[in-house]
Amino acid sequence: MSSLEKSNPLWAATHNERSDPDYVRGNVVPAVNQMAIATDLPQEIAQYKPQLQLMSQLYDDYQREVAKHNSPLARDESARQKLASTYSKRGDEMFKGTPVESLWNTMKVYE
């Protein structure tokens, strides 16, 4: 346990929670999807809507591919690892250095 985790257990709990794919799937992804389709976003957020739509689509495509390799008959760990790596690299190429980079860094938590 790091000194930051010892001195701030609430931060540590929040950080660990956000590193959980279930947290991303259940909280972050729905928020990004809502912003990607919303018609009444504040201008400060609306300007990033194209990037949010790309992020949402990238995640959906990744999840669809993971599902193909996750069935009991087709369980293939090396294929899943390759998918995760490709997902991460594609997103990094799309969002690195943009105003939505930190959101992307949260979204690229994978199974």
Name every residue whose Cβ is closer than 8 Å to that of residue 91 and which is 6 or more positions away in sequence. Answer: 55, 58, 104, 107, 108
Name the token pair of 110: 């994978």
For the chain, the domains span 8-107
Q: How far is residue 43 CA from its own chain's centroid?
A: 23
Q: How far apart are CA 33 and CA 28, in angstroms?
A: 9
> What are 54-91's pLDDT values in tens digits?
999 999 999 888 888 776 656 677 887 888 899 999 99
pLDDT at 13: 58
Closest-CA residue to 65 (of 89, 86, 83): 83
The pTM is what? Answer: 0.78
pLDDT bin (cut points 50, 70, 90) of residue 110 is low
Q: Summarize pLDDT for 19-63 with one digit per residue, the tens.
A: 677 888 888 999 999 999 999 999 999 999 999 999 999 999 998
The CA radius of gyration of the chain, in Å to the nearest whole number, is 16
- Average pLDDT score, the chain: 83
